Amino acid sequence: MLRRLFSAIRFSRPDQACVLMYHRIAALQSDIWNITVHPDEFEQHIQILSKQATVVPTEELVAALERKEIKRNTIAITFDDGYADNFLVAKPILDHYKLPATFFIASQNIGREEEFWWDELENIFLFCDYLPSVFTSTIAGETITFDLGNESRLSHDLKQQHQRWDACEHEPPTRRCALFLQLWQRLKPLPHAEQQIQLAHIRQWANIDPSTRPEFRSMSGAQLQSLGDSNLHSIGVHTISHPALAHHPKEFQWQELLDNQAFLTNAVGKPINLVAYPYGNYNHETMEVVDQAGFKGAFTTEATGVKNTSHKHRLGRFQVPNLSKQAFEVQLSKWQRTR
Ligand SMILES: [Zn+2]
């Protein structure tokens, strides 16, 4: 009976592949964007994939799409951003199970003692022990003033609420979270230099020095090179400074994508033909750039499978949250049936 049920489920799956998207494999105090998978859970995901799916290099999946030969139960594994934990934690697990992955690397912070702007912003507003009560700043010509009220001091209760907050699913639970989200939304479309000016202003207001937490570092140059040397894994383009591309002119998009490609090609000494759009954000000009530059495949963050009719520069991916073994198994089966 069970066997019949399982085969019924298997045969109901359409001919489509799934591309999984991970960002961070780590144990962190908060995960407001739901993008961090604990190393133990990650190993369980990989175990399940190695037993139940055909995991192929992302390049192979894109080549199968070109030939219109996408096969059911095919999976590709991807990572975005280039955090050091991808190299230190994820790669050894993938190597152990001999499963390939593609790492899309934003190169601005490679080998640098700098956090991504969104991590530093979150740390200041959600976890600084003390902040002045009134915040004022002019961002892209608009002045905002925000009163933190009685949340200047980070109480134990506030800290716990911030550690539990899932910004994708829930409204900001505190005034600090509300201000953080407002600033995150305003900084996201800006160019990197402008984001850094705003961050400098926020640091000064909060009376803190810039610092890099080790667990928020990007890979070093040597780590990137070592990852590139692997015959199992590959590297992909994720721009230099991780801009929301659709908010910028075509020339800027071209430069961000092609300069990143040149940097990564030089670092790993191999051709790089795949792209993942930062924040999954793109417009028709982005697609023109990746087409004109000859990229073989480009990935969004739209939660869809890859099928023979998919556009090669608009390929969906499924964001993998910190799921237990059982929950991952169920979710994987659902993704494989999501058109
Ligand atoms: Zn990214």
Tell me, what's the pLDDT at 42? 98
**CA 134 to ligand 1 centroid distance, Å:** 31
CA distance 23 to 101: 12
Q: Do 109 and 218 touch, CB atoms closer than 8 A? A: yes
Last residue of a domain, one of 171, 206, 241: 206
Tell me, what's the pLDDT at 3? 58
CA distance 238 to 286: 12
Give yes or no: residues 304 and 250 share one domain. Answer: yes
Residue range 218-252, pLDDT digits in tens: 999 999 999 999 999 999 999 999 999 999 999 99
**CA 63 to ligand 1 centroid distance, Å:** 24
CA distance 162 to 325: 26
Tell me, what's the pLDDT at 338? 79
Last residue of a domain, one of 182, 206, 230: 206
Residues belonging to the chain: 339
pLDDT at 132 over 80: yes
Amino acid making up residue 260: N
If pLDDT is split at 50, 70 and 90, which confidence band does 15 have? confident
**CA 244 to ligand 1 centroid distance, Å:** 10
Give yes or no: residues 199 and 278 share one domain. Answer: no
Q: Choose among 79, 116, 85: nearest CA to 317.
A: 79
**CA 279 to ligand 1 centroid distance, Å:** 6
Tell me, what's the pLDDT at 339? 72
Query: Is residue 5 included in any domain, yes or no?
Result: no
If pLDDT is split at 50, 70 and 90, which confidence band does 5 have? low
- Domains held by the chain: number: 2
Rg, C-alpha atoms of the chain: 21
pLDDT at 217 over 80: yes
Give yes or no: residues 199 and 226 share one domain. Answer: no
Q: Are strands 102-105 and 134-139 parallel, antiparallel or unpaired?
A: unpaired
**CA 62 to ligand 1 centroid distance, Å:** 20
**CA 10 to ligand 1 centroid distance, Å:** 33
Q: Choose among 296, 292, 251: nearest CA to 276.
A: 296
Give the residues across from 36 on adjacent strands.
Answer: 24
**CA 82 to ligand 1 centroid distance, Å:** 8
**CA 225 to ligand 1 centroid distance, Å:** 20
Residue range 58-71, pLDDT digits in tens: 999 999 999 999 99
**CA 185 to ligand 1 centroid distance, Å:** 15
CA distance 156 to 151: 11
Is-above-0.85 flag for pTM? yes
Residue found under tokens 């601005």: 108
Give yes or no: residues 104 and 131 share one domain. Answer: no
Burial of 67 (0-12, 13-18, 19+ CB in 10 A): exposed
**CA 286 to ligand 1 centroid distance, Å:** 16
**CA 234 to ligand 1 centroid distance, Å:** 16
Query: Is residue 274 included in any domain, yes or no?
Result: yes
Query: Is residue 2 included in any domain, yes or no?
Result: no
**CA 77 to ligand 1 centroid distance, Å:** 15
Give the residues across from 236 on adjacent strands.
Answer: 104
* Cβ neighbours of 220 (radius 10 Å): 14
Give the residues across from 275 on adjacent strands.
Answer: 237, 298
Query: Is residue 222 included in any domain, yes or no?
Result: yes
Query: Is residue 144 included in any domain, yes or no?
Result: yes
pLDDT at 10 over 60: no
Tell me, what's the pLDDT at 6? 53
Domain range enclosing 221: 14-113+215-335
Give yes or no: residues 200 and 148 share one domain. Answer: yes
Residue range 289-328, pLDDT digits in tens: 999 999 999 999 999 999 999 999 999 999 999 999 999 9
Last residue of a domain, one of 159, 186, 206: 206
Query: Is residue 4 included in any domain, yes or no?
Result: no
**CA 236 to ligand 1 centroid distance, Å:** 12
Query: Is residue 242 included in any domain, yes or no?
Result: yes
Give yes or no: residues 107 and 134 share one domain. Answer: no
**CA 148 to ligand 1 centroid distance, Å:** 30
**CA 242 to ligand 1 centroid distance, Å:** 6
Query: Is residue 182 included in any domain, yes or no?
Result: yes
pLDDT at 2 over 60: no
CATH number, domain containing residue 328: 3.20.20.370
Residue range 145-199, pLDDT digits in tens: 999 999 999 999 999 999 999 999 999 999 999 999 999 999 999 999 999 999 9
Give yes or no: residues 171 and 266 share one domain. Answer: no
